[in-house]
Structure 1
Amino acid sequence: MHIAFQFFSVGSNFWLSKWSEDKDLIKNGSGNNVKEHMYLCIYGVLGLGQAVSVFVSSIVLYLGTLNGANILHNVLLFNTIRGSSNLFFDITPAGRIMNTFSKDVDALDSVLPENMKSLLTTSLSVLATLFVISFNTPIFIICAIPLGIIYYIVQRLYIASSRQLKRLQSMSRAPIYSHFSESLAGTSSIRAYGLEDKFICENEQKVYENQRCHYPNIISNRWLGVRLEMIGNLVIFFAAILAVRQEKPNASLVGLSITYALQITQHLNWLVRMMCDLETNIVSVERIKEYGDLPQEASWEDPKMTPSPDWPENGSIEFNNCWVRYRPNLKPVLKGLSISIKGGEKIGVVGRTGEGKSSFALTLFRIVELEDGKIIVDDIDIATLGLYDLRSRLTIIPQDPVLFSGTLRMNLDPYNKYTDKEIWKAVENAHMKCFIKSLDSDLYYKLQEGGKNFSVGQRQLICLARALLRRSKVLILDEATASVDLKTDDLIQKTIKTKFQNCTIIKIAHRLNTIMDSNRILVLEGGSVVDFDTPSALLSNKNSIFYNMARHSGLVK
């Protein structure tokens, strides 16, 4: 359709030229109405053809780019969320992810469609200009060849440099986002230590680095402008000289040729800029494609292996020689872990910081995949299950409570599975009923981002209520009471004892008094099992690591 537009555009100019040269109309004035109407109708048809072709080409292009941007954004979002978390989020700065979801997606939505349209229009306009000049003065082709070679060299030099400058500019923008978001998150600490000036200077330095990449880009634009003006002026010069040097020049066609030649400087300039912009902005697609190729988690559902609706029925868990490492180049965090947990047992997991306690819990949910070994839950190897089938049957109360913007009810029951009566019962068992009743809209109270209008302890209790609603056979408590006071901690422990009496409970804790009522205690050191026995047996062995931990905590003398 863009080619059709140029055809109609050039055709209308040629037709206008023919109209102005018609000897009958010049001789008789406007007396020949039939011929005038013929010229006018054909000129009108050519103009209508331009309008229709531009309209159709624009609509098709915008619909196509909109569809493409939508697909690429969905790929970016899905693959980033489903990406292998420990391999991607741990090593990718938040600013880089924000830059991709903002600047690169904006390039897809707003910049690339215009670039593509302008590139098509200007490239065909240049070809149309060269065609018109060459049609009127064929000898111009001899001059156009060396000018085309010079133009090509200038264009490749500029585009190669500009593309790298744009990439540097884009890369230097991500640290600004990252530093700014980190500064906002740590505002209270920055003020407390009086480091406002230091962080302002760091921010200015990162902006300065970004401008250092931006300034050469402007200089390269001026470099290009001078050379394109020179090539454009040479085209005008040769077109004019060769046109008037013809033996019998046609005044209207010479005028048409010169008119087109006068426009070529603008077209050439715009063509190079659009080619450069397209190449530099297509880097956004390249980056989004990189995110689309991220290593992914296992499939969400596996039709070959779907557990029964009641799985796990007993809650027995068996670790067989489990080895885990977060990335291939890091040391293993679990080393040949082999333990067996009976259904309904209460297991306490202790160990110093960095000994593999949280990693032990993460392997159950396959947040981190095993490098070697197996985990069997109720006679099913969890590696054979889809992630949804596995994670929806287990419950964890994490160390850092996670809440989302929205109503309190949505945070407790995101899939709307339970009645208000069941939710109130869970809230009561989590010792939050009185507090929620005091809120303006009780269950429909609006939470701020991350639940910041609740204290950390209250957020932890909401996570407990969420766990009570799910009633899973396997419950993992990862430092679940670390952010609550001792009185609330005692209430939570009593709730867990009574409401999860028949469940398998794995408690990961620093405070030893919270796990002393466990059936058995697992002590980890360096990712390996050093003690795994009843509390009384471990305390009776004064050489055990657990005994030393209990003595330092004041539980034994």
Structure 2
Amino acid sequence: MSIAFFATQGSFDFADIWLSIWANEEEDKYAALMTQNKSLTEAFVNTTEVTIPNVNTHFNLTILVIIAVAVILCGLTRALLFLNVTLNASQKLHNWMFDSILATGIDFFQKDSITGQIQNRFSRDVRQLDSTLPKTLYEFLQCALIVIGIALVAGFTVPWVLIILVILTVLFVRCRRYYVKTSCQIHRLIKTTLSPVKGHATSSQDGVYTIRACKAEGNMIDLYDRFQDEHTKATSLSLTSERWFAIRLDLLCAIFVVAVSLFCVAQSDGLNAGLVGLSVTYAMSLMALFQWCVRQSANVANQMVSVESVLEYIKLTPECTTGKPLPPEWPKNGVISFVWASLKYPGTEQLALKDLNFTITDKEKVGIVGRTGAGKSSLITMLFRLVESKGKILIDGEDINEIELHTLRQQIAIVPQDPVLFTRSLRGNIDPFNHYQDEDIWNALNEVQLKEEIERLGEGLNVKVAEGGSNFSVGQHQLICLARVLLLNRKIVIIDEATANVDNQTDAKIQGVIKQKFKNCTVLTIAHRLQTVMDSHRILVLDKGNATFGVPHLLLQDKDCSLLKMVEETGEMMASSLKKIAKEAYESQYERLPISDDFDNVNAENVLYKRTHQERNVTEDNEEEANEKTKLLQ
């Protein structure tokens, strides 16, 4: 590419030089003819003392055509090579940034205004890489070579000009350095002030219904105006600094043109007219080209701030994905053990979860309850290793901190609170990696009672999911995600408040599918409605990072337990209903389990699964005593 640039400019300059040589030959020929004519006129005789130069016009024109063709070919080659190089560079930078963001830790996305920053990187910065920066860089390189050619020609004609050129170059460099140091900081300020504008616009669009319901349109507009004002101030400062730079460049270029003209006038007697004209013409064009070249070089430096921002995201610290490999059938049972496990988010002092120490056995259905901010979602964060935790978490005896991250996350299925649907076919949403047959997908849809509704749409599994899944209801979003989990058939399933935003009918439908289809799985359910988990085998009650683990019915007997307080806050009728559900589930579940007559040897964990013969036959008079004994065994 460098050769193409130099070849193009060299051909272009050679064409001008060739025209100058041709003009000098024609001038010498014309001067000889004029001398001959004058001699003939004065002496009336033909003299042979005057030699008329022979100018081969056909040869000169042929050379000029060849040079012109070379300029065209070299210019096209230069443009195509430059386009290919810059386009590939932009694509690679975009892909590296995208991969880096996907591979970085979850704490990166919890920063303030991160949504606007990411949008800024993939919109404004990538646009700079795709279009603005290549165009500016191309113009700078082209102008720089033209300026060098002009300086060489002018210096060849009037060597004294080189002295002035050196002085002006030093002034240009110093002026540019001063400007670039300021303008780069201004461009960083522009990017910093633009991110809140985009982030605010996105969040306002997402929460437009809430904004209108609360009649907060005026506040949101005022906040947007404040963000936009800050961005406009930075942009105005950038335009002002550009004008300051341009005026000084024009002044320096004018000084150079005046200097060249004065030297040419001063040495007019000893200079060839063609070279003088070429030098003055080049100097006049230099007034525009030189300042444009320096301005474009400054713009390249300013626009490289976008490359700097992209590289900043490319260098994000990735999650540690290495670990020991495990067989494909892992985990076989789905036993989860927390051994003094704690979690603290980066940048915070307080522990989100403190010293968890309990075991969830295979096929057990565990409900997770707690108030807002109690740490329910943090438990999922620990299991998926979104943030590294302290202590140990074992799945079938394997420490998840030592397992390959991709394997760990692949073997745990989750139905999220906010289901995500991508703008693609329904099949691509349920089976994005094409691992399953259409029949398996239809079976999964049938199990979540969506098959008939999908068939009614007419396109089958190829039905297009609109942006954000707007052509499906919120309940259908949850059922589609549930079908995705059924298709995966994992031993461990996490349900993150899947029914928090759906109606009671859809809630009942989802709960029925969960009970029927996940009976052979270990299921952890984060509950928004207490009635959905009161019939679980056990409940994990979280309160300010502390955990209480046990059977719902037994936990409700503890007056100090947070679960009892939450149940009572639902109202007298609902609290009575919840206690009844817990008691019936307790008696029903443990009645079916094997009987152990050796009560003294029952393990503190297994006592929650096995109700002994003696415990089942206790009378109402000594029921309180039996509950106390069970608590001691816990």
Bin for the TM-score computed over the shorter chain: over 0.9
Kindly indicate whether residue 382 of structure 2 is the aligned counterpart of residue 363 of structure 1: yes
Of 332, 337, 361, which residue of structure 2 is paired with 1:342? 361
- For the residue of structure 2 that corresponds to 1:447, the secondary structure is coil
Shift of 1:288: 0.3
Cα 1:232–1:323 change in 2 (3 A) is same
Match of 2:115 in 1: 94
- For the residue of structure 2 that corresponds to 1:532, the secondary structure is strand
Match of 1:219 in 2: 240
Cα 1:223–1:496 change in 2 (3 A) is closer
Match of 1:354 in 2: 373
Distance 2:16 2:504 in 1: 88
Deviations 1:266-310 (A, max 9, x none): 1121012101110110000000011111121232xx5x6322221
- For the residue of structure 1 that corresponds to 2:539, the secondary structure is strand
The AA in structure 2 aligned to 1:267 is L
Deviations 1:178-227 (A, max 9, x none): 22222222222333333434433443443333222222333333323332
Of 487, 491, 499, which residue of structure 1 is paired with 2:509? 491
The AA in structure 2 aligned to 1:234 is I
Deviations 1:474-527 (A, max 9, x none): 111111222233343333333222222221111221322222222222222222
Deviations 1:517-550 (A, max 9, x none): 2222222222222x22222332333343333333
- For the residue of structure 2 that corresponds to 1:516, the secondary structure is coil
Of 422, 425, 432, which residue of structure 2 is paired with 1:414? 432
In the TM superposition, 1:356-395 aligns within 5 A as 356-370=375-389, 372-395=390-413
Of 439, 445, 451, which residue of structure 2 is paired with 1:427? 445
Shift of 1:551: 3.4
The AA in structure 2 aligned to 1:211 is T
Shift of 1:243: 1.6
Shift of 1:409: 2.5
- Larger mean CA deviation between 88-97 and 231-240 belongs to 88-97
Distance 1:452 1:13 in 2: 65
- Larger mean CA deviation between 265-274 and 201-210 belongs to 201-210
- Larger mean CA deviation between 155-164 and 92-101 belongs to 155-164
Shift of 1:41: 2.7
Match of 1:538 in 2: 555
Kindly indicate whether residue 466 of structure 2 is the aligned counterpart of residue 445 of structure 1: no
Distance 1:47 1:205 in 2: 56
Shift of 1:89: 4.2
CA contact (8 A) 1:87 1:326 kept: no
CA contact (8 A) 2:5 2:142 kept: yes
Match of 2:212 in 1: 191
Distance 1:22 1:268 in 2: 31
Match of 1:255 in 2: 277
Match of 2:251 in 1: 230
Kindly indicate whether residue 564 of structure 2 is the aligned counterpart of residue 547 of structure 1: yes
Kindly indicate whether residue 314 of structure 2 is the aligned counterpart of residue 325 of structure 1: no
Aligned residues: 551
Cα 1:212–1:314 change in 2 (3 A) is same
CA contact (8 A) 2:113 2:199 kept: no
Kindly indicate whether residue 303 of structure 2 is the aligned counterpart of residue 281 of structure 1: yes
CA contact (8 A) 1:163 1:276 kept: no
Cα 1:539–1:172 change in 2 (3 A) is closer
CA contact (8 A) 1:406 1:446 kept: yes
Match of 1:4 in 2: 7
- For the residue of structure 1 that corresponds to 2:270, the secondary structure is coil
Distance 1:375 1:428 in 2: 35
- Larger mean CA deviation between 255-264 and 459-468 belongs to 459-468
* Larger relative contact order (Cα-Cα within 8 Å, sequence gap ≥ 6): 1
- Larger mean CA deviation between 221-230 and 375-384 belongs to 221-230
Deviations 1:2-28 (A, max 9, x none): 223332222222221121122664357
Distance 1:430 1:48 in 2: 71
Shift of 1:105: 0.3
- Larger mean CA deviation between 276-285 and 397-406 belongs to 397-406
Distance 1:450 1:341 in 2: 35
CA contact (8 A) 2:25 2:55 kept: no
Cα 1:365–1:258 change in 2 (3 A) is same
Distance 2:214 2:559 in 1: 45
- For the residue of structure 2 that corresponds to 1:446, the secondary structure is coil
The AA in structure 2 aligned to 1:11 is F
Distance 1:113 1:145 in 2: 29
Distance 2:506 2:10 in 1: 80
Match of 2:588 in 1: none
Match of 1:42 in 2: 63
Deviations 1:340-380 (A, max 9, x none): 1211122222222211111112211122222x222111122
TM-score (norm 2): 0.82
Cα 1:405–1:44 change in 2 (3 A) is same
CA contact (8 A) 2:427 2:461 kept: yes
Match of 1:244 in 2: 265
The AA in structure 2 aligned to 1:410 is G
Distance 1:268 1:47 in 2: 24
Shift of 1:442: 4.2
Instruction: Quote the sequence identity (%).
Output: 37
Distance 2:561 2:201 in 1: 48
Distance 2:302 2:53 in 1: 56
- For the residue of structure 1 that corresponds to 2:556, the secondary structure is helix
In the TM superposition, 1:147-158 aligns within 5 A as 147-158=168-179
Shift of 1:401: 1.6
Match of 1:455 in 2: 473
Distance 1:424 1:207 in 2: 50
Name structure 2 gaps, 5 residues minimum: 35-51, 581-634
- For the residue of structure 2 that corresponds to 1:337, the secondary structure is strand
Shift of 1:422: 2.5
Distance 2:210 2:569 in 1: 32
Kindly indicate whether residue 143 of structure 2 is the aligned counterpart of residue 122 of structure 1: yes
Match of 1:311 in 2: 330
- For the residue of structure 2 that corresponds to 1:540, the secondary structure is coil
Match of 1:182 in 2: 203
Shift of 1:439: 2.8
Shift of 1:104: 0.4
CA contact (8 A) 1:407 1:445 kept: yes
Shift of 1:329: 3.2
Kindly indicate whether residue 17 of structure 2 is the aligned counterpart of residue 14 of structure 1: yes
Distance 1:89 1:28 in 2: 86
- Larger mean CA deviation between 342-351 and 418-427 belongs to 418-427
Distance 1:181 1:285 in 2: 24
TM-score (norm 1): 0.92
CA contact (8 A) 2:187 2:305 kept: no
Cα 1:195–1:502 change in 2 (3 A) is closer
The AA in structure 1 aligned to 2:543 is E
- For the residue of structure 1 that corresponds to 2:327, the secondary structure is coil
Distance 1:202 1:357 in 2: 33
Distance 1:488 1:45 in 2: 79
Match of 1:64 in 2: 85
- Larger mean CA deviation between 328-337 and 20-29 belongs to 20-29
- For the residue of structure 1 that corresponds to 2:56, the secondary structure is helix
CA contact (8 A) 1:136 1:253 kept: yes
